[in-house]
Structure 1
Amino acid sequence: MARSKWNHTPDELPLRVNPLWQWPLNIRAAFDWWWRGWFPLTVSLMIVALSIVLWRFASPTLLETETIGAWVFWLWLRNLVIVAILAQGLHLVLHRWRLQGDRKKYDPRPYPRKGRVFSFGDQFWDNVFWACASGVTMWTLFEALILWSMANGYAGTWSWQDGPLWFVLFFLLIPPWESLYFYVIHRALHSKWLYRFHALHHRNTDVGPWSGLSMHPIEHFLYFGTALIHFVVPTHPVHVICHLMFFGLYAIVTHAGFEGLWLKGKKRLHLGNFHHQMHHRFFEVNYGTLEIPMDKLFGTFHDGTEDGDAMMKERLKTRTRPLD
């Protein structure tokens, strides 16, 4: 890929999927991939820690959720505050105050933009409105539904006393489940029947932190529908909180537009996702994540190189429908 298309690309190109799915299997490489995804300081680990704190100090008990009440509003307010702090904090540091300048910013174009394509004629306010009014609301409705269902016996529960292994394992299974679930719904959203709703998210050809949750309510329903798995497998309320925050907060950080937060010449926290950044630029590639190679399986993988460009162009030539 020509460097002129991007202000910054990752040092390691071509992009590679999780070594767990590469042959011959390299156990050490697969373990290193898993370790770097969680330790020593990663967004995933911070989300798990935050979910435990929220369950302990800022969530209703299952006894309280037996009946619908004011606790639903407090969940919505709690989620709104978390989204606002994270998204606006990253927006100020990276895009408003530009404390890193353009260093490690993927797209050379500035964010946000103006234009009639956006609600209120402004990309920033378009993103803020849809993220808060629709995104936080749908997120909270799913959280409230599952907590109410757990309290009333409609969804199974699992405590630490029931078995610590499954209690811990569920946290670790969220990323691969996210990868599989996200690919399936994302491809569906690019179909001719559903793209009319997904088009709102694709107003963002370049992205900022608020872009991640800027979606149509129908897309938010499908996106946070990932949580319905809690009706199938028994879990703890802290897993519900973590699962939904994983989808909500990761959408924010992976759309930051920058590879990471840099301080004194070192990357202190990984943020943006070049794999998904290419999807916002080119639309028809990289529907999933690198955790499970669904894009490679279905021929929609762009590895960030000129060969990836050629594959994409060839695929678009042979496509028979407006959106596949």
Structure 2
Amino acid sequence: MSEEQLKGWNHLPDVPLKTSPFFTWPPNPVEMVKWFWNSWFLITEKLIIVGIAFACYIWFQPPLDATQTFEFGWIAQMYARNIVLTLLVAGSLHLWFYTYSAQGKKLKFDPRPLMVQGRQFTLGGQVRDNMFWTLGTGVLIWTAFEVSLFWALANGHMRLITFEANPFWFVAIFFLIPIWESFYFYVIHRALHIPFLYKHVHSLHHRNINVGPWSGMSMHPVEQLIFLSSVFVHLIIGAHPVHILFHLQYYFLTAITTHTGFQGILVGDKNRLALGTFHHQMHHRYFECNYGSLEIPWDKWFGSFHDGTVSANEKMQERRKKIMG
């Protein structure tokens, strides 16, 4: 851990935080391979969600032919599946980290507990409020987008990509979705911080200064619509049904996992599964930094990157003073 540490945090990762080596000069092939491997392989969020997507496609997804017409049965089946997935992921993480406090405050970024009460929350408490927006409108919009894309795919309104016909493109799409997410999220996130949109839309998500698993998809329905609309890129590039499942599950479920408030799941003395990111945790506390992710250094390029050091914090405060006049 660096000697230069920010105050007010319970756990700090090694700082300064590093962005993807694919955008540094001169190129470092060894660091590129390590970054790619650590992002994807062995036990990672991405690979787990690929597995969930295939499991859903094989066992819990209506046949494509059935989705040619809108019918209650197959739509209800998909909605129920998404409700169960959300409850399993967000619910189990909340139980592990907060209800049973299975690892105490080890790897927890913010030392404070989640808020039990608060006037800013619609239902009076942080967890209840977050569950309401996640399960109430979030899962509904997620399912509606899945339904519309499966209908479009079944009726020939978008290109069907199969492994048999194009194995390279079939596999490549899984790796390209997180890259697309990095670009798309940064653009919409900066837009959501425009004062009008922030006040009327994005501020609901920012009620969570100290985040937990149910915070990730706790958004105004307008923001949920914008956030999940990234999946409509498949109307242009095409998809297999499992790509649609993976894309929306990746967006929805990693929003949950990256907002756990912990750097990962600790078993013994080892972090067995990396989850929450300090990079985004700082955004929830400081607001005017780290709008994107570390995969593509948009924040570095546009001057809003906070690398977790005291010097970066001082620069952020100087920018605030200039903006405030």
Shift, 1:319, TM fit: 2.1
Q: Name the structure 2 match of 1:50.
A: 52
User: Partner amino acid for 1:17?
Assistant: T
Q: Name the structure 2 match of 1:271.
A: 275
Q: Name the structure 1 match of 2:238.
A: 234
Q: After superposition, give the CA deviation of every residue in 1:188-237 in whole Å (9 maximum; x if it has no partner).
A: 11012311201000000000000001000000000000001010101101
User: Partner amino acid for 2:215?
Assistant: S
- Structure 1 residue runs of 4+, over 6 Å off? none
Q: Name the structure 2 match of 1:76.
A: 79
Distance 1:315 1:288 in 2: 18
Q: Name the structure 2 match of 1:156.
A: 159
| Farther-moved stretch of structure 1 (270-279 vs 155-164) | 155-164
Residue-pair matches, total: 320
Distance 1:235 1:88 in 2: 30
**1:105 aligned counterpart, secondary structure:** coil
Percent of counterpart pairs with the same letter?
46
Whether the 8 Å contact between 2:6 and 2:308 is mirrored in structure 1 is no
Counterpart selection for 1:104 from 99, 104, 107: 107
Whether the 8 Å contact between 1:286 and 1:301 is mirrored in structure 2 is yes
Distance 1:138 1:315 in 2: 37
Q: TM-score, normalised to structure 1's length?
A: 0.97
Shift, 1:53, TM fit: 0.9
Counterpart selection for 2:62 from 60, 63, 73: 60
Distance 2:321 2:76 in 1: 50
Distance 1:8 1:128 in 2: 26
Counterpart selection for 2:149 from 126, 146, 158: 146
Shift, 1:3, TM fit: 4.2
The root-mean-square deviation of aligned C-alpha atoms, in Å, is: 1.1
Pair 1:30 & 2:26 matched? no
Distance 2:156 2:195 in 1: 39
Distance 2:150 2:324 in 1: 45
Q: Name the structure 2 match of 1:288.
A: 292
Q: Name the structure 2 match of 1:166.
A: 169
**Where in structure 2 are the equivalents of 1:78-97 lying within 5 Å?**
78-97=81-100
Q: After superposition, give the CA deviation of every residue in 1:234-269 in whole Å (9 maximum; x if it has no partner).
A: 110100000000000000100000011011111111
**2:123 aligned counterpart, secondary structure:** helix
**1:121 aligned counterpart, secondary structure:** coil
Whether the 8 Å contact between 1:112 and 1:208 is mirrored in structure 2 is no
Q: Name the structure 2 match of 1:5.
A: 8
Whether the 8 Å contact between 2:5 and 2:308 is mirrored in structure 1 is no
Counterpart selection for 1:21 from 20, 23, 42: 23
Shift, 1:16, TM fit: 0.8
User: Partner amino acid for 1:202?
Assistant: H
Q: Name the structure 2 match of 1:124.
A: 127
Distance 1:306 1:249 in 2: 32
Q: Which segments of 5 or more consecutive residues in structure 1 lack a partner in the other structure?
A: none
**1:232 aligned counterpart, secondary structure:** helix
Shift, 1:308, TM fit: 1.1
Shift, 1:28, TM fit: 1.2
Q: Name the structure 1 match of 2:264.
A: 260
User: Partner amino acid for 2:163?
Assistant: W
